[in-house]
Amino acid sequence: MDDGKTGGDSKPNLVQVKHKLWLEKNGGIFGEGLFQLLSNVAGLGSISHAAREMGMSYRAAWGKIKMAEDGFGVPLVITHVGGEMGGGARLTPAADELLIKYRRFQELVDTFVQNSFQETFRGWPGP
């Protein structure tokens, strides 16, 4: 499962570069895992559905979200208990904005890393 690493697993027979990118504040962590998770929450309307979709426990998903909310001091999900479908969750505007910005950022960095890698490591190891 993807945990934030980039580069895929193609061409195992030549040197490839990988990287991982995340934001931190006061112990709160936002990276590729939470990006995927929140995207799924937005699409499915439920934390538990999103967690199952990614093959993780509800406990793990809820913990990641709460850690990030506590650390960043920003609510990311609006949840309600009981009622139609038993309950549910949707994203806050701050979370929506975060997803958009993070994806753009991730793409910028990925492109730079690949290009810079080619330039730096051209011809290593020598013949």
Partner DNA sequence: TGGCGTTGTATACGCTAAAATATAACGGCC
Partner DNA sequence: GGCCGTTATATTTTAGCGTATACAACGCCA
Among 89, 91, 95, 98, binds DNA (CB under 7 A): 89
Which range in 44-52, 91-99, 101-109, 117-125 contacts DNA by CB under 7 A? 44-52
d(CA 78, CA 92): 6
10 binds its own copies (CB under 8 A): no
- Token pair, residue 105, equals 């950022």
- Dihedrals phi, psi of 43, to nearest 5 degrees: -80, -30
CB of 64 vs DNA, minimal distance in Å: 9
Residue 57 binds which one of DNA, its own copies, none, with CB within 5 to 8 A depending on kind? DNA
CB nearer to DNA: pick between 83 and 93: 83
Regarding 66 and contact with DNA (CB under 7 A), the answer is yes
| Region from 37-45, 62-70, 79-87, 112-120 binding its own copies, contact rule CB under 8 A | 112-120
Question: What is the three-class DSSP state of 45?
Answer: coil
Among 3, 59, 81, 120, binds its own copies (CB under 8 A): 120
Least spacing, CB of residue 24 vs DNA, in Å: 15
- Torsions phi, psi for 5 (to 5 deg): -70, 155
| DSSP string across 83-110 | SGGGEEEEE-HHHHHHHHHHHHHHHHHH
List the structure tokens of 61.
């998903």
